[in-house]
A and B are shown apart, each in its own frame.
Chain A
């Protein structure tokens, strides 16, 4: 019961906490105020502080509104978390090998691994699709637009 009410108010809680963090810690620590800005003049901290106070105000209103209104919410538990983790691992792996094998080969491996490994599609069509698609990307970015993509240190 309490958990469901807290879940419904989670957005308001998150925003209020961020607002408090901004006003008390993030702005004083990470926004440098030049000494030459007079006290009543707007400086680099003006907008972030206004945003921080705004977050506290609206976050609190949201929390109170939900609490008073008695709203409840239950987050659905995802049923494919394993598949998501597998896809995330494939993407991370592809990004990590990019400096060595280049971006486009890494993208081919990533596409094939996700399509046939994580989604269970047949291997050959996955490979063909990946090679063709990355070929199109290569033509547009490197041949037409002349944008260099990482080519990979393994290939010299």
Chain B
């Protein structure tokens, strides 16, 4: 009874009831505007959530992420430009539908696919996370070290075509995480005599600098044309359409959930797999590429299916699977919470309240999707010249507010410039952020494991679980290297000089 009362107490906060729908709405609007990504939105709005109750703050960020996944489909359908990378497949059939004068039907198909994918994803989260957290209670420092290493490898392996470059990004993130006072001996590392750096490189300026500012800098650096959106017509997604696309939606959701639960894969890859499967099996497969509703449904159900599923490794083991969950991990830490098996053991009402709120947030997507349908064309067409200055203000105020110092603001701009340089060098920023977030955890577990074993490295492998995790890491590295070598051989046969 106490447990139920605590869950209700968590949920019955007026802030939550007001701000969660607003967050979903904001996410949808942000996702609908090309040039504004969900990562940017979650990063820029993170400072606002830190002064709220932990559950409310975290749900706002998740709500923005969820809303933006659907929002990304709007610009994909109306403008032929995916609002978020996860909507890349939605473009293929969504825009042809809009060109045929069926934009309303396509948007409603995306809406229902997102809604169902999202709900099933929450169900999977509820079913799997507790079980995984129980399993995670067996983990000691060796196992956690092996798990973090495996996660970083998977993320690096899947984030880019070049594994060494992606691993280098992860190493750069780990290096940033070592700045400040040493965990055990409290001696300074890379502080260069600066008092501000003794607490480490601040998380928020790194996040905003790497994920929000490069887009803004590149917008002002190049003369990009603003795009025009198609108008939303009065065509509807009928019951017959629903019956036809439901199997595709269910399949897409399962693909999204499965791929979302594995760290590193994320929404974008799952949409391609789901789209390919639908192209093989959907009733309207002959229409694919020319305006098939199943194409839109497959892509949208898969990307929404990943959303709550990415929370499974985060909540159960404390390991983020993508950039947004890495930001969420940072938000958990800011609120004094450490996701992982201990959170399930110590604060189960919080977890259950989170599940319930996540479940209901899906209904807000459906509600706002229908209410906003008519407004989507002007929303998607807002010029970026008008959007970026307010975002800059949010970045500056947000970075300042957290530490009450201009140091954080200048650090943020420094990382913004670094973000542009990293894009030029083709080093993926997501691996840097994930390495940065996991750095302390990795070092802490490595040092504890080595202290217990009195410095013997072999001891890192003497548990079957740790050895199994290291073996999987090794297999992934070998597989990626093998794939790269094969690709190069094929490339050489096809063309003697590979051009990028």
Asked if A61 is an interface residue, CB under 8 A from chain B, the answer is yes
| Contact for B164 among A12, A32, A75, A140, CB less than 8 A | A12
A interface, by DSSP: helix, strand, loop or mixed?
Answer: helix
Residues on the A chain within 8 Å of B390, using CB: 111, 129, 133
* B389–A31 CB distance below 8 A: no
* A133–B393 CB distance below 8 A: yes
| Contact for A118 among B189, B220, B222, CB less than 8 A | B220
Asked if A38 is an interface residue, CB under 8 A from chain B, the answer is yes
Asked if B167 is an interface residue, CB under 8 A from chain A, the answer is yes
Residues on the B chain within 8 Å of A146, using CB: 51
Interface bin, chain A? 35 or more
Asked if B497 is an interface residue, CB under 8 A from chain A, the answer is yes
* A80–B220 CB distance below 8 A: yes
* A62–B392 CB distance below 8 A: no
Q: How far is the CA of A81 from the CA of B221 in the complex (A)?
A: 5
* A51–B171 CB distance below 8 A: yes
Asked if A6 is an interface residue, CB under 8 A from chain B, the answer is no
* B187–A44 CB distance below 8 A: yes
Asked if A2 is an interface residue, CB under 8 A from chain B, the answer is no
Q: How far is the CA of A140 from the CA of B389 in the complex (A)?
A: 18
Asked if B491 is an interface residue, CB under 8 A from chain A, the answer is yes
Residues on the A chain within 8 Å of B406, using CB: 95, 98
Residues on the B chain within 8 Å of A26, using CB: 190
| Contact for A111 among B175, B389, B454, CB less than 8 A | B389
Asked if A78 is an interface residue, CB under 8 A from chain B, the answer is yes
Nearest-Cβ distance from residue B405 to partner chain A, whole angstroms = 10
Q: Known A33-B187, A61-B164, A69-B491; judge A91-B174 contact (CB<8 A).
A: no
Q: Known A121-B385, A129-B390; judge A83-B220 contact (CB<8 A).
A: yes
Chain B residue, CB-CB nearest to A7 = B424
* B168–A147 CB distance below 8 A: no
Residues in A23-74 with C-beta less than 8 Å from chain B: 26, 30-34, 37-38, 40-44, 46-48, 51, 54-55, 58-59, 61-62, 65, 68-73
Q: How far is the CA of A114 from the CA of B48 in the complex (A)?
A: 24
* B175–A48 CB distance below 8 A: yes
Residues on the A chain within 8 Å of B182, using CB: 31, 43-44
**What are 12 A-B contacts with C-beta separation under 8 Å?**
A10-B424, A41-B451, A42-B446, A48-B178, A58-B164, A71-B498, A71-B499, A80-B223, A115-B386, A119-B385, A137-B393, A137-B394
Q: Identify the A interface with B (CB < 8 A).
A: 8, 10-12, 14-15, 18, 22, 26, 30-34, 37-38, 40-44, 46-48, 51, 54-55, 58-59, 61-62, 65, 68-73, 75-76, 78-81, 83-84, 87, 91, 95, 98, 103, 107, 110-111, 114-115, 118-121, 129-130, 133-134, 137, 140-141, 145-150
